[in-house]
Chains A and B, each alone.
Chain A
Amino acid sequence: MGIGRVAIKRGINAIVLIGMVTVINFFLFRIMPGDPTTMMISPRMTHETRRIILHKFGLDQPLYVQFVRYIQQLLSGNLGISFIYQRPVLDLIVERIPNTVLLLLSSFIITVILSIITGLVAAWKRGSKLDISLIVFGLTMHALPIFWLGGLLLLYFSVQLDLFPVIGVSTPWLKHESVFSYVADVLHHLFLPMMTLGIGNIGGLFLITRNSLLDVFAEDYVTTARAVGVPSRTILFRNVLRNAMLPLVTIIMLRLGFIIGGAVTTETVFTWPGVGLLIYRSVMQEDYPVLQGAFLIITISAVLANFMAEIIYGYLDPRVRYE
């Protein structure tokens, strides 16, 4: 099977998944006991307006009619109107995506670099004091609620030491003389949330890196290389790292979906105006169309990241292609 066939097969799989997620997303918001339409209509309305709006949006129709309508609306890019902002949900989400992507990608790079370095050191010095301390560090990071870590960093560095701004993505109403001063301002705002999410996610990835390196260390070809006297450094870089990268790339990509969860709480702590903060606010204000739309977008992104991981894996590992 060539890489093209694999891609098509995985692609179909991803499309089926997106379809299922869409269906789940439709029914999730209708499983409330009692009137299934309560979730879609703001509770602050009079009975009469409520009835008119229910009719206008087709919410008094049978479920299957509503479902067909929902799919039609989705395909034309309509995710509904926010109760609170009175604006299309899609617009609200799209204008916040760049902030979330910036936070996710920058923190992700920090996580990957730090956990590969620590994982490599730990696996190389297996069983040593350093290895044990790194494991304890990794497990501690795993146990730390990310939003609490963020709160502590904010309390110390921003409130007590006044080194970083406390909210937002840039200084409001500040006229920037050049692009550079704007970028510097954004980076200044980004630093703490990026470090929070970056360090907070190390735990799992560090352990996975260490374990997959140990798996490779146990392979026969590494033992052979050692036995014939190949220098350790050469073994490490030529044999071990190269072979361990394969499972690592996949796991790293798969964790994107997991990291999104941490982004919701981190954005909330730092008032970082991204999709996560939007989700938090829509929960607080019972703005269900926004919650439903944001959840759909997040899930589809996770499915796509997953799909990309599979393609990259198939590209790197010839065994997948020719099975």
Chain B
Amino acid sequence: MQKVKLRGYEKSIIKFWSQYMESKIGLFGLALLIFFVFVSAFANILAPYPVGPKDGDSKAILKPPTSKYVLGTDELGRDMLSLILYGGRVSLMIGMLSTLMTALIGTIVGVSAGYFGGNTEELLMRFTDIFLVIPGLPLMIVLASILGATFWNMIFVIGVLGWTGTARVLRAQVLSLKEKPFIESARAIGASDARIIGRHILPNVLPLIVAQMVLNIGSSILSASSLSFLGLGDPTHLSWGMTLHYAFGVGALFSNFYWYLIPPGFCITLVVLAFTFIGYSLDQIVNPRIRRR
């Protein structure tokens, strides 16, 4: 029988996966995420009714759950289940796109601060401190209301303000990596900074970046839902947060329209929980500070 030879990275993926399999929380989160991604991707097939502004059933306005509309209807007579299915797309998209931006800024700031040290580090960390100390949501509110409530503005606002955590974690990690012998020997044989960062530093901090990204998607979805709830969401993109905004707007609280209020918030919680569970489990494996304990 031929022996299969494994390359280095394949071995580490297998090792990683076997560690991850041990975490029940992580596996549950992954299952939950796969479910929501699947449901959102096939929303147009799964949704029983269309959800355009004119697609409502004028004879079923704000109706509690019935056999025809299993989760009830909104103030335009649209099916709540269909709204929820389509809403997942928007919420997940906002979370992932703003996290791409967050990861990019956080990596650039964190890695350069940690690697170059000195004045660069001082300047970048001071800059990070400003963003750390300013309360996040109020700053997002101000930016979003100045720029205007559109889908892309929301992604920009969340992405441009959410990178401080990533930057700090990466800086700490790069600081300790920099002292490792393999980096010193690379420098001794005359490798350039770009080569050391690209070939040695980045591959080593990649797992940490991924763990941060997963956690960030969750918190971005939460921020987006808060902004939408406050009326800073794009009215043409019906995210779960936007649906909640309309629920509060039509007085769902005082009129006891529980079917309008419960599903969107429940879905936000579950999706954020999925990312939090996965991120928490990843962090347990890849974050050296936690692993040591």
Contact flag A159-B256 (CB < 8 Å), given A136-B25, A140-B269, A145-B222: yes
Count of interface residues, chain A, beta-carbon cutoff 8 Å: 55
Given contact pairs A29-B146, A31-B146, A140-B273, A261 touches B253 in the complex (Cβ within 8 A): no
- Which of under 10, 10 to 19, 20 to 34, or 35 or more describes the interface residues of B? 35 or more
Q: Which of A135, A166, A257, A286 contacts B25 (CB 8 A)?
A: A135
Please, what's the 1-or-0 string for B116-136, where 1 marks a CB less than 8 Å from any CB in chain A? 000000000000011001111
* Residues from chain A with Cβ under 8 Å of B254 in the complex: 159, 166
B142 at the interface (CB under 8 A from A): yes
From B46-54, B188-196, B226-234, give the one contacting chain A: B226-234
Contact B226 A265 (CB under 8 A): yes
User: Which of A132, A159, A268, A295 touches B139 (beta carbons < 8 Å)?
Assistant: A295
| Any A CB within 8 A of the CB of B111 | no
Question: Judging by beta carbons under 8 Å apart, are A151 and B265 in contact?
Answer: yes
Which chain A residue lies CB-closest to B292? A218
Q: How far is the CB of B132 from chain A (nearest CB, A)?
A: 8
How many A-B pairs fall under 8 Å by CB?
A: 141
Partner of A145, one of B24, B135, B141, B225: B225
Cβ–Cβ contact A21 & B273, under 8 A: no
Residue B170 is within 8 A (CB to CB) of chain A in the complex: no
Which residues of B line the A interface, CB within 8 A? Answer: 24-25, 129-130, 133-139, 141-143, 145-146, 218, 222, 225-226, 229-232, 241, 244, 248, 253-254, 256, 258, 261-262, 264-265, 268-270, 272-273, 276-277, 280, 290, 292-293
**7 closest residue pairs by CB, A with B:** A261-B137, A148-B265, A143-B272, A143-B273, A257-B135, A260-B135, A139-B276
A-B contacts besides A148-B264, A151-B253, 18 pairs, CB < 8 Å = A20-B130, A28-B146, A29-B146, A139-B273, A139-B277, A142-B272, A148-B244, A148-B269, A151-B244, A159-B253, A218-B293, A264-B226, A265-B137, A279-B138, A279-B141, A291-B141, A295-B139, A306-B133
